[in-house]
Amino acid sequence: MTGGGAGAGAGGVVGAVAVVAVAALRERAAELDALLARLDADEAAVREDRADATADDEHDPEGSTLSGEWQRIEALRRATASERAEVEAALARVADGTYGVCAVCGRAIPPERLEVRPMATTCVACAARRAG
């Protein structure tokens, strides 16, 4: 037992969490940007294929397959864009100093929760209350 040396006081916890979170959030933002770019390319490819298919409609039974593919890409793109917006909002909260604070009750969100869900805006209790 050496005593002392515990380092950061309670006041520094949110700051330290935010530093870790920013790295995770930036990384996730880059992943999502790459994914969105790929989905854009996929969608452009499907659009071209579909244009061909429409031109040759009577001979090409794949028209419906292409529109299914289109819908799949669109759904994935919407989900990706909405997660990208959440990441952006979390980074904005880091910037204005409200990151890691529950948006409902105003208490600190536990660091373990932020590690698992860096975009969390509420503590576990408030999230559960909202969902229920």
Binding site for Zn ion (CB under 5 A): 102, 104-105, 123, 126
In whole angstroms, how close is the CB of 131 to Zn ion at the nearest point? 13
Tokens linked to 74:
């669109």
**18/109 with CB nearer Zn ion:** 109
Burial class (CB in 10 A: 0-12, 13-18, 19+), 100: buried
> Which residues lie below 8 Å from residue 56, measured CB to CB, with a gap of 6+?
none
Of the candidates 94, 93, 70, the one whose C-alpha atom is nearest the C-alpha of residue 18 is: 94
**32/126 with CB nearer Zn ion:** 126
In 33-120, beta strands by DSSP E: none
In whole angstroms, how close is the CB of 24 to Zn ion at the nearest point? 21
In whole angstroms, how close is the CB of 129 to Zn ion at the nearest point? 8
**17/102 with CB nearer Zn ion:** 102
In whole angstroms, how close is the CB of 28 to Zn ion at the nearest point? 23
**38/113 with CB nearer Zn ion:** 113
In DSSP terms, which residues pair with 101 in a beta bridge?
108
- Asked if 67 contacts 50 with a C-beta cutoff of 8 angstroms, the reply is yes
